[in-house]
Structure formats: C-alpha cells, structure tokens
Amino acid sequence: MPQATDAYVQAHQDRFLDELKEFLRIPSISVAPEHRADIERAAAFTAESLKAAGLENVDIIPTGRHPLVYAEWLHAPGRPTVLCYGHYDVQPPDPLDQWESPPFEPTVRNGNLYARGAADDKGQFFMHIKAVETLRAIHGRLPVNVRFLIEGEEEVGSLSVRRYIAANAQQLKADVALVSDTPLYADGIPTLCIGLRGLVYLEVEAIGPRRDLHSGLFGGVAPNPVFALMEMLAKAKNGDGSIRIPGIYEGVEAPAPEEKASWDRLPFCEQRFLKEEVGSFGLAGEPGYSVLERLWARPTFEVHGLAGGFAGQGAKTVIPSKATAKVSLRLVPRQDPQQIISAFRQFIAEHTPEGIHTEVRVLISSPATMVNPDHPAIRVASQAFHDVFGQPAVFIRSGGSIPIVGDVSSHLGIPTVLMGFGLPDDGLHSPNEKYRIENFFNGIRTVTRFLERYGESV
C-alpha cells in the first residue's frame, strides 16, 4: 500500500506544515533559563502531537532540567520495536541581526521553511510522528512496535535523557533506534549516516588578580587571565591545525580502505564546499587528510568564545580578575572521552602561566559511535530510501555528535538508524536555519516505508 500512504501525506501536507510551523513558533532554547516556560510548551506540544497520532501512554517525564516526552504503541507482537528519538529544544538564535526573517516566525522562501529548529531537530523528528499518523490512518495499526523518547536538552548535552536511558534500559527495550537529526549528503541523494563524532565540551576558567585592574597602573606586573587563556589554548594546536595535546591521537582509528574509497566516490567539490558552505578565504585543517576525512574521521579542537574583560564598543583598559573560555574536542572511534578530558586537564595544568590559577569544567562528554552498514535495519532503511528517492543510499559519517546514539548502543545494546533529511547548508546553529519543505514530505514518506519494510522483514 505505499501509494495509499503517499496519497495521505499528499492530501494532508498543508496541515502537516502548519502544525510544524506552530511547533517552530515556540522558542524552546534549552540553554536559556528565561525560556523555561517555552521548554514546557514545546514538551506539551510534542506530547499532544504524539497523542493525536494515536500513540499511547504519552508521558511528560520531569527531570533535573528539561522534561522528556515518552510515548509507545506496542500492539504488534512478534514484530520488532523501533525507538524513535528526537529533541524539541533548539540552539539560541544569536546573532539575531543576521536573520532575514525572525527565528521564531517560520517563513517560507524558495521552497524552504526558515526558522530556528526547522532542521535541528523539530522539523525532523516531527516526520516520525507524521509517519505514525499516516500508517495508522491507512492501516488502522502500525507495522512495528514503536516507542518515542523525545528530549529537551540535546543542545546542552543531553544529560537527563542519557541518565534516563541508563536507568530505564529494561523499559526501553527495542531492536533499533531511529534518529532523524542528520543531513542528506546533498539534495536528492538518499543518505545513511553510519558514524558520528563524539564530543567533549569544556569550560576553562583562568583566575588572576583579586579584582579587575587598570592596565596602565598594573600592566607589566599583574597576570592577565584573558591573555593566559589565549596563551594556553593557542598552544593546543600546531600551526598546521593538528592538535598538540599529548596523547590526543592515541588509538585514533583510520577508516577502512573500502569506506575511504566510498567517500572518494561521493560527489564532492572542494572549491564549491569552500565557496558555498564555508564561505571563508580558505579552508583550515590537518595536512595529509582530505576534507571528508578531516570532517568525519579526525578529532578536532575548537575554541568557541571567551568571556571576561572588556569586549564592547570602544576602549576599556582592564586586566580582568578572571576569564572563561568555551572549548570542545570532537572525537572519533576508539577515543575515550575520559582519557581525552584527563589529557586536556593535564595540558592546561602544565601550561598555566605564573600567577594564574586555572579550572577545567566538563559540560558534555560522549564518545564517537559507528553503526555496522550490514545490520538488517540499515539495509531496510536503504531500501526505504530507494523507494522514495529512486536510487540507493550512500553511506557517510557526520562530523557532528548525537550523544544519545552512544548510550543507546551501550545501555540498550541496539544500533541506530541515522536517517536524516536536512541539507548541508541548512544553517544549524547559524542564523537563517532552514529546512527544505520537499525533504520534510519525502522524509515522512521514507520513514513510513522504513517502518513498513522493517515490519515485513521479520
């Protein structure tokens, strides 16, 4: 009956899009305490959408921070169980002045829906809900058992959902997890992501004078925490972009020759990537590795920003009392986050200059994950893509991190199908985030086929 489900999606597409827009209007920025009420609204909206799609035991689960939303439909005995994951929280929209339309007023331009969260991840996990609705509308039932676990802290480290999975592994029993939070390799190319980098996100605080000091009256003798951070963090990389923290490359696993060869077959143009996706004066990175290798199979070290001192308009001659930098490392298979954190702590301790005291705080820690492309669920996912896109899926990795994928693997012992429909230029975490509307509907259709085919496969 694929035609019937496709027809349902077609017939209801205006409503599906309107519902998504309503969802996107909620500024559920997880990092910002002042958006707490919006977080609650987004969780409630998610729960209502799950109920409306016919899911059962819908529950808003309080956590130490932002609530989880759980739902299930378990009336297909003997059929596998799919655990659908997504996140209703979004990144902050800053810098606001660079948005062409307001971040929380979803706006259609050139076939795209512009809004914070359109692709990351509201617009994507909403497809799962609409696939369930479609299947129940046409068949009166679902071809597989499903559980939904939607969280509100993905953009701030997924702490609560990770704890919940660790503590409730039995109740979450499933055969595979389904996550739509990754992009297509390129528009029109069905894509399965089989590898994600891990993430260690840290805060480094440097403490110097007891109070902010005048740089004229104390410059030359007072230790400067802003400069100290720059000095220490600059040392973490060599001039060629490689990381200088001792031990950081220990155990790093190179992609298998076949996987590397498949990357070489992908349509990739470095000049176009530079010009259209990055838009800088040139690319950076380790010598001896291709762009895709650097993105998917090499660890990185980044500094995201620095607080402290004076950075406003004009001139203030201050040596601040303290300063804090946000840094992160992306990890690849076989790198242990705990070892990386220890190595970084030791590096900072060794390079802390005279007169400065440093503290390193861990905000996020999750390992890289890989999925076996020969797993039955991955093969079914590939067929579902073929049904809708008319061509076989390519297997890629992503440089990004979805902490829950590692937890699902270690606590539930199941792989994750990373079936995403975003595009590389969707602007996740950037101004003018968008989601291609056609991909939203293709995504609903593909997820529908996946659930149907996966139910038939056993």
Contact set for a copy of itself, span 364-403 (CB under 8 A) = 364, 398-401
Q: Note whether 406 and 165 are within 8 A (CB).
A: no
Q: Which residue lies nearer to a copy of itself by CB, 197 or 449? A: 197
Site for a copy of itself in 165-184 (CB under 8 A): 183
Site string for a copy of itself, 294-313 (x = CB under 8 A): xx--x-x-xxxxxxxxxxxx
Q: How far apart are CA 451 and CA 454, in angstroms?
A: 5
Binding residue for a copy of itself (CB under 8 A) from 19, 89, 121, 155? Answer: 155
To a copy of itself, the closest distance from the beta carbon of 99 in angstroms equals 11
Least gap, CB of 144 to a copy of itself (angstroms): 30
Residue 254 binds a copy of itself, judged by CB under 8 A: no
- Contacts made by residues 392-395, CB under 8 angstroms, sequence distance 24+: 392/190, 393/190, 393/191, 393/192, 394/185, 394/189, 394/190, 394/191, 394/192, 394/262, 394/266, 395/191, 395/192, 395/193, 395/194, 395/259, 395/262
Q: How far is CA 15 from CA 150, 186, 380, in A?
A: 22, 27, 29
Q: Please report whether residue 423 would count as binding a copy of itself according to CB under 8 A.
A: no
Euclidean distance between CA atoms 74 and 289, whole angstroms: 47
Q: Which of 162, 197, 434, 445 binds a copy of itself (CB under 8 A)?
A: 197
Give, in order, the Cα–Cα distances in Å from 259 to each of 123, 194, 343, 422, 448: 30, 11, 30, 22, 28
Cβ-based nearer residue to a copy of itself, 345 or 351: 351
Number of residues that bind a copy of itself (CB under 8 A): 104
Q: Point out which span in 66-74, 108-116, 351-359, 375-383 binds a copy of itself (CB under 8 A).
A: 351-359
Vertex 445, ends 427 and 185: CA angle to 5°? Answer: 35
- Residue 223 makes contact with a copy of itself by CB under 8 A: yes
Chain positions 20 to 59 lying near a copy of itself, rule: CB under 8 A, are 30-33
> Looking only at residues 57 through 116 of this chain, which bind a copy of itself when binding is defined by CB under 8 A?
91-92, 94-95, 98
Q: Which of 47, 50, 319, 405 binds a copy of itself (CB under 8 A)?
A: 319
Helix (H, G, I), strand (E, B) or coil at 268: coil
105 versus 302: smaller Cβ distance to a copy of itself? 302
- The upper half-sphere exposure of residue 40, i.e. CA atoms within 13 Å in the direction of its Cβ, equals 6
Buried b (16+ CB within 10 A) or exposed e, 40-59: bbbbebbbebbeebbbeebe
From residue 259 to residue 298, what is the string marking binding to a copy of itself with x (rule CB under 8 A)? Answer: --------------x---xxxxxxxxxx----x--xx--x
| Window of 53-61, 110-118, 214-222, 445-453 that interacts with a copy of itself by CB under 8 A | 214-222
